[in-house]
Amino acid sequence: MANPTILSVDDDPAVSRAVARDLRRQYGDRYRIVRALSGGDALDALREIKLRGDRLALMLADYRMPHMNGIEFLEAAMDLFPLARRVLLTAYSDTEAAIDAINVVDLDHYLLKPWSPPEQHLYPVIDGLLELWHATPDPGETEIRVVGHRWSAPSFAVRDFLTRNLVPYRWLLSDEPEGQRLLAAAGLSAADVPLVVTPEGKPLVSPTERELAAQAGLSTVPASDFYDLAVVGGGPAGLGAAVYGASEGLRTILVEERATGGQAGQSSRIENYLGFPDGVSGSQLTDRARRQALKFGAEILSAQRVVALEAAGAGRVLHLGPDSSIAAHTVVLATGVSYRRLAATGLDEFAGAGVFYGSAVTEAPSCSGEDVYIVGGANSAGQAAVHFSRYARRVHVLVRQGDLARSMSSYLIDQINGIGTIEIHPWTEVSGGVGDGHLQQLTLRDSRSGAERTVAASWLFVFIGAEPHTQWLEGVVTRDERGFVVTGPDLVAGGDRPAGWRLPRDPYHLESSVPGVFAAGDVRSSSVKRVASAVGEGAMAVSLVHRYLEAQ
């Protein structure tokens, strides 16, 4: 197979030669370096590469080019090579445009010219992007096909699981010719969706998440029965604990029920995370953290639900079901929170069929040209509004309070105010919904006057509340009145140590009422609900794990 291609396009011949020279010097032995002097010439080159069946790893495009600027070129190039990494070359005065391009073409990076020395400013960026490209499977090589109905909740569940686990697949509607052919070949009808066809041609009808995980190459069975550290939950806090635990030599396993990343993994763009001035999507951040944990030797167990925690002598046992369990010296609880269900008449029956909890980025292209309604006024709702504005005719943000300033970051409010297709509806609640097989109408209520109105709506995305799923810890670990895990000083606020606490010391800062069991991130009572703080608590929990183990 031919070496993959790196393409650069710049209308300044001197700059074009300099880019190609620096790229050949570092990557010429492993990649084919191609340069073009205009966006049109570059697209012609891409079409030729596509026809030959070659691979494109990365594109670098100058922003200021006549006839077709760099953003326009990258947007057109995405149709030919959607997996290729995208870099915009800019002058300092074009920084604003480069930041805007992040949302337009899902830009991976922008580089300020000049980048001398390349060893410091160019090669580290390219190295990281090429590593990401190699880690992303090509759907043409490992393609899972999913046949389903647009408004089928089980079909959505399959697509959502694959998307959140970064598994490439092709979505086919059951009433389209190719979807019908696959159903007929499997001896099924449109009523039998979802149908999943593996790359080997094996049909799976309404598969479980564990079956999907196995087909996607995710680990579902623990390799051992005892570990130094078991992490429950694969959000930022859990991934942080897994990375630091494994990198410091602890035998570490992370158990995740659905997909690594948690709520943060569904964010279309996180722009206030330290070290990512250009912003980073939740899926990109999750993918990097997951690969980092695996690199250090952590074991990641997917599609497994922890149903009980048991303190057994010096060990802590996690029960994964009636016949499966793992034990560890220590446990970090990092199960995060989930969005609260909307208490509105008639909406429960449309979950996954027009009503979605979280960003459901799998549905964004399907919203093209239609109105989308978003409930919530915090950052997750704002990020979703910006993302859906790329597809929807209009995005309606329903806010129970008078404005967004109380719960949303100012940078996000500024972005929303600059997008003409996003409309904020203050003092507005959803009181009901109706439809035939899927959501078709919403009833909206003014939270001050109580006046109601009905709107046509097929898409509702909910981002309200934060509920920890900690019922499985009932009677084992102390929780507050809302179900969050109480830790450290809060356990001894009244002067007494937790019932059953037999150690001569007070609980460590992130330690629960069970010695050796720690909580990190959103599931912890009184925690700061931010991605950065969750990662920090995951790392801090590991330092306390070491202190606990050293004292045993």
Q: Which contacts qualify for 366-371: CB closer than 8 Å, 24 or more apart? A: 366/150, 367/391, 367/392, 367/459, 368/392, 369/393, 370/458, 370/459, 371/395, 371/396, 371/455, 371/456, 371/457, 371/459
Q: Which domain holds residue 107?
A: 5-135
In a domain, 75, yes or no: yes
Query: Tens digits of per-residue pLDDT, 471-526?
Result: 999 999 999 999 999 999 999 987 889 988 989 999 999 999 999 999 999 999 99
What 8-state DSSP symbol labels residue 484? Answer: P
State yes or no: pLDDT of 456 exceeds 90: yes
State yes or no: pLDDT of 239 exceeds 60: yes
Q: Are residues 104 and 13 in the same domain?
A: yes
pLDDT of residue 404: 92
The answer to whether 22 and 118 have CB atoms below 8 angstroms apart is: yes
Strand ranges in 258-323 using DSSP code E only, listed in sequence order? 299-301, 308-312, 315-321
Q: How far apart (Å, rounded) are the C-alpha atoms in residues 36 and 15?
A: 11
Mean pLDDT, residues 225-229 taken together: 96
Higher pLDDT pick, 395 / 134 = 395
Percent of the chain with pLDDT over 90: 64
CATH number of the domain enclosing 280? 3.50.50.60
pLDDT of residue 530: 86
Q: Is the dihedral of CA 259, 262, 265, 268 positive or negative?
A: positive
Exposed/middle/buried for residue 550 (C-beta within 10 Å: 0-12, 13-18, 19+)? exposed
In a domain, 170, yes or no: yes
Mean pLDDT, residues 360-387 taken together: 89
Return the residue matching tokens 């830009």: 107
Structure tokens belonging to residue 497: 């140590």
Mean pLDDT, residues 191-215 taken together: 91
CA distances, 518 to each of 237, 381, 546 (Å): 11, 30, 12
Percent of the chain with pLDDT over 70: 96
Q: Are residues 422 and 538 in the same domain?
A: no
Higher pLDDT pick, 328 / 182 = 328
Q: Are residues 429 and 474 in the same domain?
A: no
Last residue of a domain, one of 182, 215, 248: 215
In a domain, 25, yes or no: yes
Q: How far apart (Å, rounded) are the C-alpha atoms in residues 335 and 527?
A: 13
Q: Are residues 156 and 174 in the same domain?
A: yes
Q: Are residues 90 and 193 in the same domain?
A: no
pLDDT of residue 137: 64
Mean pLDDT, residues 387-400 taken together: 94
pLDDT of residue 494: 79
Widest CA span in the chain:
75
Confidence of residue 265 (pLDDT cuts 50, 70, 90): confident
Confidence of residue 360 (pLDDT cuts 50, 70, 90): low
Q: Are residues 380 and 263 in the same domain?
A: no
pTM here is: 0.78
Mean pLDDT, residues 65-83 taken together: 88
CATH number of the domain enclosing 168? 3.40.30.10
State yes or no: pLDDT of 139 exceeds 70: no
In a domain, 221, yes or no: no
In a domain, 343, yes or no: no
Q: Are residues 263 and 293 in the same domain?
A: yes
Query: Tens digits of per-residue pLDDT, 82-117?
Result: 889 999 888 776 767 767 666 666 788 888 887 889
Q: Are residues 151 and 206 in the same domain?
A: yes
The answer to whether 135 and 171 have CB atoms below 8 angstroms apart is: no
Q: Are residues 284 and 362 in the same domain?
A: no
State yes or no: pLDDT of 41 exceeds 60: yes
Structure tokens belonging to residue 535: 């990662």
Number of domains in the chain: 4
Q: Are residues 178 and 209 in the same domain?
A: yes
The answer to whether 8 and 60 have CB atoms below 8 angstroms apart is: yes
pLDDT of residue 142: 54
In a domain, 304, yes or no: yes
* φ, ψ of residue 391 in degrees (nearest 5): -120, -45
Q: Are residues 12 and 123 in the same domain?
A: yes
**Least confident stretch, 151-155, 441-445, 455-459:** 151-155
Last residue of a domain, one of 462, 480, 497: 462
In a domain, 220, yes or no: no
pLDDT of residue 64: 87
Mean pLDDT, residues 415-428 taken together: 96
Edge-to-edge strands of the sheet including 428-434? 428-434, 441-446, 452-456
In a domain, 236, yes or no: yes
Mean pLDDT, residues 127-136 taken together: 89
Return the residue matching tokens 């602890």: 250
Alpha helices (H) in 28-68, listed in sequence order: 39-52
Q: Are residues 16 and 126 in the same domain?
A: yes
Mean pLDDT, residues 220-249 taken together: 96
pLDDT of residue 96: 73
State yes or no: pLDDT of 135 exceeds 90: no
Last residue of a domain, one of 93, 117, 135: 135
Q: How far apart (Å, rounded) are the C-alpha atoms in residues 68 and 310?
A: 63
pLDDT of residue 2: 81
State yes or no: pLDDT of 466 exceeds 70: yes
| Amino acid, res. 252 | T
